[in-house]
Structure 1
């Protein structure tokens, strides 16, 4: 079954020439969908969304499996994760402590629990104190076809929500200091998790939320600012692999949000896309990303927000209570990337 619909998607991409190349706008009338070899295939929006809707119905009927695993890291086991399940026996046998704040970390396409982003963000938070760090490993992220991973996002988000609901109801985990942090496709997984929890997640951090096959005008099918009490987006490859339009209640645009300094010959956008993770981990550790408040996101993209720094720091733990709007973030070309020391 999977082979059949993957072939169908490939055929859709191959035949999608209704829109002339000169008229294509990524994310507006179609998408440049990434492939494993680093190239992109164009698909027209209307055709792709019809196809996605049909495939999602099959996903909802359980015709595709979407394994999701959870690995807990704490100060007691900072480098070797303990696999946990939503059972009393599993949680009681782990180092999970409901007295400590919890952070879920969700990777994107082609990644896994062993990907560097998980270590960067895990170590950043554990350097601050006692946390339950739960790394989400979702197997469908490693599908050869990006579209297959996109189709799994909703189901994976619901499974993350189920774990959150269980830890909250049966083990006393607080939603009031819970963060769900996702990169790329993982940002949208975080959004679906927030949509399906029994109670409101405190904060979702979307690290360059994926653009291909996600429609800005359909917020119920992507991460949006209503999915948690506070949603922050750090947008570093806007218009290519990530969204350029603001996703979070607080939307941050390092270097204008399209490309990042130090990412030379970044044809696929992978370097700039990944910088969102590196910046966030540094922000958690150092709190050193000064920002300039902008009138709108276009001003942030055009670096036309003046030169007066705001009191807001990108990625700061206090942002949930004070931040709304779009911010330009000056960054350096190498570590430390933050511009305030």
Structure 2
């Protein structure tokens, strides 16, 4: 309660820059609230909030993280697993199958539709260990409180990855970690915990922007957190990053707003489309892409009309992708377009 009070007090004490001078992610952030509205916080106030929160983080309530395993043998009935030999040996975990960790964002849980969609998509592809992560602090009332829990949650995911690798033979070379929004930032800290470039692939689905800085890669998902990092950016500049985060950065419809989302004042529809696109990409491999000179060309849709050989979300991207891509999309499913 004390932490929430301090966070709330700091949030209430924001310094108001003139509206025309506010640049989200540069001199401050528009912080999302549970009711769908936003509250501006200047950079200085945000840094004070984060510093104060980091000082208290180790002395407050537990940062609970749980892991739920799905396989072809239990595609809809989860097995909770822990870093204990009897837990793993008594589960359907198979070291000979590729592994996918899936991490939800703010306000969500392991039962969220994001997880079921991605789990179903991968299990339709073949035999995989799909491990859905539930980090309880994502459900904090204050977004800022969830942000403060990201490093600790990511470290716990990273420790589980190391445990499965070192004690149960899980291959890091066939491992992919998929995170949406704040979950993408958690995946970055998981990668940092395992060690630079050791996880094969991380896919960030519209990585969360509020309270994260592009110029501080050590405190967000960055291209060094895995051998290959892919970012699928659908609400850039609002709920998600606009500048490229991954080695391969993909910009559906220019990366800011998605067709079929209407006015989308809160950005939640466009933000969530990254999940729908990814799940479809896994099952259909149908998102054609156009290589761009840089991300600004991708955002302004000035990359020409010649499709590349790269498909957004493809497993093979880890071996062939480096750069920014514009991705044409439809307003309804199937969302992907191919030449």
Q: Report TM bin, short chain.
A: over 0.9
1:299 counterpart residue number: 297
Gaps of 5+ in 1: none
CA-to-partner distance for each residue in 1:88-136, whole Å, 9 max, x for gaps?
Answer: 0000000000000000000000000100000111111111100000000
Question: Does the CA contact (< 8 Å) of 1:165 and 1:198 recur in 2?
Answer: no
RMSD: 1.1
TM-score normalized with structure 2 length? 0.98
Question: Does the CA contact (< 8 Å) of 1:12 and 1:43 recur in 2?
Answer: no
CA-to-partner distance for each residue in 1:230-279, whole Å, 9 max, x for gaps?
Answer: 00000000011000000100000000000000001211000000000000
2:55 counterpart residue number: 57
Q: Could you tell me which of 122, 125, 130 is aligned with 1:128?
A: 125
Q: Could you tell me which of 232, 248, 251 is aligned with 1:250?
A: 248
Runs of 4+ in 1 over 3 A off after TM superposition: none
Question: Does the CA contact (< 8 Å) of 2:16 and 2:41 recur in 1?
Answer: no
2:223 counterpart residue number: 225
Which runs of structure 2 are paired with 1:113-124 in the superposition (5 Å)? 113-124=110-121
**Match status 1:111 vs 2:108:** yes
**Match status 1:157 vs 2:154:** yes
1:195 counterpart residue number: 192
SS in 2 for 1:326: strand
Residue 16 (structure 1) shift? 2.0
Question: Does the CA contact (< 8 Å) of 2:100 and 2:129 recur in 1?
Answer: yes
SS in 1 for 2:29: strand
TM-score normalized with structure 1 length? 0.97
Q: Could you tell me which of 211, 214, 228 is aligned with 2:212?
A: 214
1:261 counterpart residue number: 259
2:236 counterpart residue number: 238
Which runs of structure 2 are paired with 1:1-341 in the superposition (5 Å)? 3-59=1-57, 61-197=58-194, 200-340=198-338
Task: Please give the alpha-carbon distance, in whole angstroms, between the structure 2 residues aligned to 1:62 and 1:175.
Answer: 33
Task: Please give the alpha-carbon distance, in whole angstroms, between the structure 1 residues aligned to 2:71 and 2:9.
Answer: 46
Residue 287 (structure 1) shift? 0.4
Q: How many residues align?
A: 338
CA-to-partner distance for each residue in 1:181-239, whole Å, 9 max, x for gaps?
Answer: 00000000000000001570000000000000001110000000000000000000001
Q: Specify whether residues 300 and 198 from structure 1 end up closer, same or farther in structure 2 by C-alpha distance, changes over 3 A only.
A: closer
Question: Does the CA contact (< 8 Å) of 1:58 and 1:64 recur in 2?
Answer: no
